[in-house]
Amino acid sequence: MWNYIPHTREDKERMLEALGIKSVDELFEDIPKEVRMERNYDVPGPLAEDCLVRHMQELAGKNLHLGNCACFLGAGVYDHFVPSIVDAIISRGEFYTAYTPYQPEISQGTLQAIFEYQSMICELTGMYVTNASMYDGASSFAESAFMACSATKREKVLCSKAVNPEYRSVLRTYTRFRGVEVEEFGYKDGQVDLEDVKGKLNDKVAAIMIQSPNFFGVIEDLASIAELAHSKGAMLIVSADPISLALLEAPGKLGADIVTGEGQALGNPASFGGPHFGFLAATEKLLRKMPGRIVGQTVDTEGRRGFVLTLQAREQHIRREKATSNICTNQSLCALMGAVYMSAMGKEGLKEVAKLCYNKAHYAMDELAKRGFKRAFNAPFFKEFVLIAPKPVKEINEKLLKEGFIGGYDLSGQYPEIKNGWLIAVTERRTKEEIDRFVGIAGGEVR
């Protein structure tokens, strides 16, 4: 007997009898003999629950986690505070053991929560519509390129080198097989190099793709880039940090046509890189080019407000090979975490988080600049910044790790042109004491 399988011996006998067969093997006789599995899988188990827990604790114990160290590493995943109510809500079986809300009469909980999520993301980004979530920031960025190509009937995009390398890597993979060309342009003082863009932009380009704050933490001049893109009939795609949007102007107000991003910062634990969620928001004109599920408001036969999955004719289960995307399962529960987080933090809380990040990051930058680190770019930044270290970053990070700190991202792999480049992220969770110690160790006070 197994805890998750209810069949007693009597049950099985009764069922076999009803089917008029002697053994369950008879139900598998249409499997050709040469492919039938005649042995047990060579996998471990079964483990009783207590033994499983012990085993899992042992494995988890081999990892250093963010509760046991102070993390100054960002580069796409951030150690933000997550209020306890987020996990309390998403741990309700009614949410996490539900299927996709295809039967609206018994899925209003998920549908309304996602409608609220969509409303909040539209507020932050200043856009007309957003979908119910994408896999992550990288895949939503890549899918947005296809939206722009479809809307402009062009097959090339320009992408900034200051976009997260993970996103650019995914963009390359997605576009390579679909036959969309990607050309990258450079950065100058950490920001989009407008001259380089001008040289590469023409009426074959569907979109200019950027990130703001970008991978270096630097805030981009969206309005100028939007103007440039639109002058050639191209779109502007912006990948944005949702926390930063509490303080930074909504990209929609500055001319962005599509705003995507990684939602992890909104109430999702780091989880070794996932699951998190990607968001994808766009102008009204692009409504029917959107990939994935969208929740819409309507009424029932008795006139009560209710919510449904809408504009489904865009999607794979109806349009099959002509669908806007193949996405089906998304990251719904992670988006719900985002909605609960945004509800909990609210209008003032999100601003407070953003201000704390901003002030602490600038404090850390100022202090490190006093200890032999040089600011790489003078452009304005939000919660992350690049320093030029006096020696290889690896050495500094190793020293920090010994003292219980996870140091910044070593840029030498992806950006060898920035010699000893060190990308530091400072969230609201870092205390002045931690920053001071971090600065001290990195600056050579502890040997």
Touching another protein, residues 71-110 (CB under 8 A)? 71, 73, 75-77, 79, 81, 83, 85, 87-89, 91-101, 103-110
Cα within 13 Å of Cα(411), Cβ side = 23
Sequential DSSP letters for 378-429? -S-BSSEEEEE-SS-HHHHHHHHHHTTEE--EETTTT-TTSTTEEEEE--TT
For residue 404, state whether it binds another protein (rule: CB under 8 A): no
Query: Looking at beta carbons only, is 60 or 370 nearer to another protein?
Result: 60
Q: Which amino acid is at 49?
A: E
**How far apart (Å, rounded) are the C-alpha atoms in residues 17 and 354?**
66
Nearest to 90 by CA among 316, 423, 338: 338
Query: Looking at beta carbons only, is 231 or 326 nearer to another protein?
Result: 326
Q: Which of 199, 233, 273, 444 binds another protein (CB under 8 A)?
A: 273
Q: Rounding to the nearest 10 degrees, give the CA dihedral for residues 367, 435, 357, 160.
A: 70
**How far apart (Å, rounded) are the C-alpha atoms in residues 249 and 145?**
23
Q: How many residues interact with another protein (rule CB under 8 A)?
A: 205
Touching another protein, residues 134-193 (CB under 8 A)? 135-139, 164, 166-167, 169-170, 172-174, 176-179
Query: Looking at beta carbons only, is 34 or 203 nearer to another protein?
Result: 34
Query: Looking at beta carbons only, is 27 or 199 nearer to another protein?
Result: 27
What SS3 state is found at 372? coil
Query: Looking at beta carbons only, is 313 or 446 nearer to another protein?
Result: 313
Edge-to-edge strand order for the sheet containing 129-130? Answer: 129-130, 278-282, 258-262, 235-240, 207-212, 156-160, 181-185
What SS3 state is found at 441? helix
Q: Which of 155, 181, 230, 296 binds another protein (CB under 8 A)?
A: 296
Report, in Å, the least distance between residue 371 CB and another protein.
16
Length of the chain: 447
Q: Which of 188, 271, 285, 395 binds another protein (CB under 8 A)?
A: 271
**How far apart (Å, rounded) are the C-alpha atoms in residues 360 and 337?**
25
Q: Which of 18, 203, 370, 447 binds another protein (CB under 8 A)?
A: 18
Touching another protein, residues 210-249 (CB under 8 A)? 219, 221, 223, 245-249
Query: Looking at beta carbons only, is 185 or 382 nearer to another protein?
Result: 382
Report, in Å, the least distance between residue 330 CB and another protein.
4
The token pair that represents 256 in the structure block: 């962005």
Report, in Å, the least distance between residue 388 CB and another protein.
18
Query: Looking at beta carbons only, is 167 or 199 nearer to another protein?
Result: 167
**Peptide bond between residue 275 and the one before it cis (omega within 30 degrees of 0):** yes
Touching another protein, residues 311-340 (CB under 8 A)? 311-323, 325-334, 336, 340
Report, in Å, the least distance between residue 199 CB and another protein.
25
Contacts 24+ apart (CB under 8 A), 429-434: 429/79, 429/80, 429/81, 430/70, 430/72, 430/360, 430/364, 432/360, 432/363, 434/70, 434/405
**How far apart (Å, rounded) are the C-alpha atoms in residues 293 and 443?**
49
For residue 122, state whether it binds another protein (rule: CB under 8 A): yes
Q: Answer yes or no: are the C-beta atoms of 386 and 421 closer than 8 Å.
A: yes
For residue 112, state whether it binds another protein (rule: CB under 8 A): yes
Q: Under 8 Å CB-to-CB from 395, ≥6 apart: which residues?
A: none
Q: Which of 65, 188, 391, 419 binds another protein (CB under 8 A)?
A: 65
Window of 154-162, 192-200, 228-236, 301-309 that interacts with another protein by CB under 8 A: 301-309
For residue 34, state whether it binds another protein (rule: CB under 8 A): yes
Report, in Å, the least distance between residue 420 CB and another protein.
17
Q: Which of 150, 200, 310, 440 binds another protein (CB under 8 A)?
A: 310
Report, in Å, the least distance between residue 314 CB and another protein.
8
Touching another protein, residues 339-398 (CB under 8 A)? 340, 342-353, 355-356, 358-360, 362-363, 366, 380, 397
Report, in Å, the least distance between residue 360 CB and another protein.
5
Report, in Å, the least distance between residue 128 CB and another protein.
8
Q: Under 8 Å CB-to-CB from 131, ≥6 apart: which residues?
A: 118, 279, 280, 290, 291, 292, 293, 294, 330
Report, in Å, the least distance between residue 197 CB and another protein.
18
For residue 285, state whether it binds another protein (rule: CB under 8 A): no
Window of 20-28, 181-189, 193-201, 229-237 that interacts with another protein by CB under 8 A: 20-28
